[in-house]
Structure 1
Amino acid sequence: MKARPASYRWVPEHAHVAPAADAALPAGFRCAGVSGGIKPNGDKDVAILVCDAAEAVSAARFTRSSVIAAPVQVTQQRTRLDGLRAVVANSGNANAATGNRGLDEAARMQGAASMVGGVPTDAVAVASTGVIGVQLDGNKVVQALVGAREELRADGVDDFTDAISTTDAFRKTVAFDVALSGGTVRLTAQAKGAGMIQPGFATMLCFAQTDAVLSAETADLLLGVCVKRSFERISVDGQLSTNDTAILMASGASGIEVAPQSEDELRFGEALDAALRTLALDMAADGEGAERLGRVVVRCDDAEEAEIVARAVANSPLVKTALFGQDPNWGRIAQAVGAALPGRAPLDFDIAIEGVPVAKGGQAARFDEEALIEAVGGDQVEYVIELGEERTAETEVFFSDFGYEYVRINAEYTT
């Protein structure tokens, strides 16, 4: 497996958020991952997560694609999104563009997970990831879930994460202990995603759990804010998926309450932000063969314009291949900026790479080329673009490079 980056320079650190000594789920949660025969190589491909707390609360976010997968439809239409107590997921088949039969199979998954987890059917979310347009054999999922019943445990995180993964090169998990005024709570999260990634979510699944006491309104607020700073800030290939799902579940088993508009809400929100931001950067860093991670920051006079420019740079094949080749070719950045803002010639812009100004006022600046080449040789590179006069609007997008492996993986995905 590819090595997971040791850390990310763009994830804020907080004194009250500490890496947990183990990856075990918070109190009140159990999970498992088993093989159901969906993946032809026999790898784990069916996962289930159960919350044993009857009064659990939750929040969820989904893809904005108009081609929406069956599990997303079933979860949105047949569950209480603020009271989810279980998640059932499969990998190896997206169950997307599969018509009414796909909806039936997703509903079967939901029903089977309800029986295995001992929770109401409308408290079970369904998720799938894999190839689009291929019918899912629900019998395989149901049979696998029966076997998973005995595997459910708090320390089953590795099996669970393996079972939701597809082209992922490493496991994407986090586990934090969060110090609040009433004591310490546990926050964990697991995710998958490496390709078909674009702001506005990704081809991603993410499940987060805590034993803190949250109201449904607080859970929804915090998840929404943190998703905007994490999964909606990444791009691998500019492609929007059909299956994106992010779910936060709170068992309340610790008895420690996170009151609305309190210092504890801020602290827990910072922990959730660090968790989801780490997982989002994991996805971009994985990037189906990626070797380097980039961050583009755009400052200008208009927030919408900043977003357009940042995404244009992050999704530019020329910028992404330059990142792969450790090439400080700022002309490719200028090209992407100009293409994103047509009809504005002559455009006044400044560009800096790793803090080195390479363009000023729309033209080349004097800089130490050798120092710049050394600066872009690292595995995390930052680009800053400034436009206009006031420059009060700012946005960021994280992106992976484009290398040989990305082409190979996606050229051979179904063959």
Structure 2
Amino acid sequence: MTGAFFTSRWVDVPEWVTEEPPGALPQGFRAAGVACGLKESGSLDLGLMRCDGPDLASAIRFTSSAVVAAPVLVTRDRANAAQIKVVAVNSGNANAATGGRGLDEAARMQGAAAMSSGVGEDAVAVCSTGVIGVQLDGRKVTRGILDASKQLTAEGEEAFARAIMTTDAFDKRASLTVELTGGPVRLTAQAKGAGMIQPRFATMLCFVQTDAKLEAETADLLLGVTVKRSFDRISVDGQLSTNDTVVLQCSGASGVTVAPESEDEVRFGQALDALLRQLGLHIVRDGEGSKRVGRVTVRGGNHGAGEVVARAVANSPLVKAALHGGDPNWGRIAQAIGGALYGSAPIAFDIAIEGVQVAVAGAAARFDEAALAQLVDRDEVDYVIGLPGDGHETEVFFSDLSHEYVTINAEYTT
């Protein structure tokens, strides 16, 4: 059953998944969001999420960037990824490229969250998002964590979601009920991201909560698979971030067990997959001024050529500008293919836009240009590319290139 959250035709929603009004967290979770003064606007900028479930299990994924923010390093090296009880997040400052002092502040943030929650530091994940290269004011963060710890409630999800936003035009959160053979479980999530988005994660954070009971190994397996089909498949501007983190926490408070290699593992995994794919598409749709979302699917191509072409098309400024303008100019796609596979001429590529074949074997096909122009004047536009060879099929979701995107990023620190 779909509602306000599932909006894309590219997401398959299982029949055993029902959308609920967002706001209340699954059993065993409490959250809060406060303003600690990192943002000049005075808006919420510090979020705290706590799991008090009887059968805690968790899993984490991080950015693959070579320039890694201090909170990523601290969480990766000092936290137990399978037993994350508390997540502390600040926005307004990425605490990235901040040297030894930045690491100290991330450790202080972790320590403050542990102390205020009465848990060990290894049970705390810390995340930051915002401007790179500016020292984080740890005193403000510490005070914010203490304030947030006193305001934790099962209804604090909205404030938490708002506290993690930076240039986001809207919050990205969902609440689902998943019917398993053992009974219903809840699945909620909050994400942020709008710019510096590239496959292999993005400037994005995502926090997922469920009251289902999972083994840590199962949680890790399902998170890894679904991240590869969601956040690894999105691009706004082809820029790889320093701070990306995804955390899945399972409280077990529902009493419903998701056993390994069971039907319920499949059901829960498909629900998580739909949730994360739609969150990824919401990030792309935000896109710091984005008007349209594109999906490029590449079929064929030997030795990984399909993946290279998909990313080249998704990140091409010419393709993205044409998408923004509703212009079915397939020549932009052809040039991106050629640039990705330079030195391989001639390439007998096929291109279809919204199911209309516009190029066959590297040459123009006959089609109704006026009809195609109407088809691309929509919120979502589908591109399919065929390459010689028997390579696997791959896809990338991407945003257009808007005037607003340029304005936002030209003035980001000024």
Q: TM-score, normalised by structure 2?
A: 0.97
Matched, 1:305 2:305: yes
Unaligned runs of 5+ in 1: none
Matched, 1:69 2:80: no
- Counterpart of 2:140 in structure 1 is 140
- Counterpart of 2:23 in structure 1 is 23
The CA distance in 2 between the partners of 1:341 and 1:7, in whole Å, is: 34
Cα offset, 1:149, TM superposition? 2.2
Per mean C-alpha deviation after superposition, the further-off stretch among 72-81 and 114-123 is: 114-123
Cα offset, 1:111, TM superposition? 1.2
- Counterpart of 1:403 in structure 2 is 402
Could you list the structure 1 runs, at least 4 aligned residues long, displaced by more than 4 angstroms after superposition: none
The CA distance in 1 between the partners of 2:15 and 2:116, in whole Å, is: 39
- Counterpart of 1:386 in structure 2 is 386
Cα offset, 1:28, TM superposition? 0.3
The CA distance in 1 between the partners of 2:301 and 2:92, in whole Å, is: 45
The CA distance in 1 between the partners of 2:282 and 2:14, in whole Å, is: 19
The CA distance in 1 between the partners of 2:140 and 2:265, in whole Å, is: 42
- Counterpart of 2:85 in structure 1 is 85
Cα offset, 1:95, TM superposition? 0.2
Matched, 1:7 2:3: no
Report Cα offsets for 1:281-333 as digits up to 9, x if no partner: 01111001101000000001436111000000000000000000000000000
Number of aligned residue pairs: give it: 411
Paired residue type of 1:344: S
Unaligned runs of 5+ in 2: none
- Counterpart of 1:182 in structure 2 is 182
Q: Is 1:177–1:186's contact at 8 Å kept on the other side of the alignment? A: yes
The CA distance in 2 between the partners of 1:36 and 1:342, in whole Å, is: 51
Report Cα offsets for 1:201-249 as digits up to 9, x if no partner: 0011000010000001000000000000000000000000000000100
Percent identity over paired residues:
63
Q: Is 2:54–2:252's contact at 8 Å kept on the other side of the alignment? A: no
Cα offset, 1:61, TM superposition? 0.4
Distance 1:12 1:377, change over 3 A: same
- Counterpart of 2:123 in structure 1 is 123
Q: Is 1:303–1:394's contact at 8 Å kept on the other side of the alignment? A: no
Cα offset, 1:168, TM superposition? 0.2
Q: Is 2:291–2:400's contact at 8 Å kept on the other side of the alignment? A: yes
The CA distance in 2 between the partners of 1:170 and 1:187, in whole Å, is: 20
Paired residue type of 1:374: Q
The CA distance in 2 between the partners of 1:158 and 1:279, in whole Å, is: 16
- Counterpart of 2:201 in structure 1 is 201
Q: TM-score, normalised by structure 1?
A: 0.97
Cα offset, 1:138, TM superposition? 0.6
Paired residue type of 1:397: V
- Counterpart of 1:377 in structure 2 is 377
Paired residue type of 1:150: K
SS of the aligned residue for 2:383 comes to: strand
The CA distance in 1 between the partners of 2:254 and 2:6, in whole Å, is: 30
Root mean square deviation of aligned Cα = 1.2
Q: Is 2:22–2:173's contact at 8 Å kept on the other side of the alignment? A: no
